[in-house]
Amino acid sequence: MAMIQNVLFPTDFSPACVAMAPFVRRAASIASARVTLLHVLEPAASSFDLLVRPPHEVEEDRKLVARKKLNSFLESEFPAADSQRLLVQGDAAAEIARVAREGAFDLIVMPTHAGVFRRTLLGSTTAKVLNDADAPVFTTQHSETMIPRQIQHREWVCLVGLQEDSQRVVRYAARAAETFHANLTLIHAIASSEPGLPVRLDLEERAESAARHAARERVEHLQRVVGSHAPVRIVVGPIKQALIEAACKLQADVVVIGRSPEPVARGRLRDLTYAVVRDAPCPVLSV
Q: Does 173 share its domain with 122?
A: no
Q: Does 27 share its domain with 90?
A: yes
Q: Does 132 share its domain with 167?
A: no
Residue 33 near residue 62, CB atoms below 8 Å: no
Q: What is the pLDDT of residue 274?
A: 77
Is 147 part of any domain?
no
Q: What is the pLDDT of residue 126?
A: 79
Q: Which of 92, 111, 140 is a domain's end point? A: 140
Q: Does 117 share its domain with 172?
A: no
Number of separate domains in the chain = 2
Is 216 part of any domain?
yes
145 burial via Cβ count (<10 Å: 0-12, 13-18, 19+): exposed
pLDDT digits (tens, 9 = 90+) for 87-100: 999 999 999 999 99
Q: What is the pLDDT of residue 230?
A: 94
35 burial via Cβ count (<10 Å: 0-12, 13-18, 19+): buried
Q: What is the pLDDT of residue 98?
A: 96
CATH of the domain at 44: 3.40.50.620
| Domain housing 74 | 6-140
Is 208 part of any domain?
yes
Q: Does 163 share its domain with 251?
A: yes
Strands 137-140 vs 284-286: parallel, antiparallel or unpaired? antiparallel
Q: Does 18 share its domain with 108?
A: yes
If phi > 0 it is left, if psi is from -120 to 50 it is alpha, else beta; for residue 27 that is alpha
Q: What is the pLDDT of residue 148?
A: 54
Is 149 part of any domain?
no
Q: Does 108 share its domain with 231?
A: no
Q: Which of 140, 170, 190 is a domain's end point? A: 140
Which residues in the chain land under pLDDT 50?
A: 114-123, 143-146, 203-204, 206-207, 264-266
Q: What is the pLDDT of residue 265?
A: 41
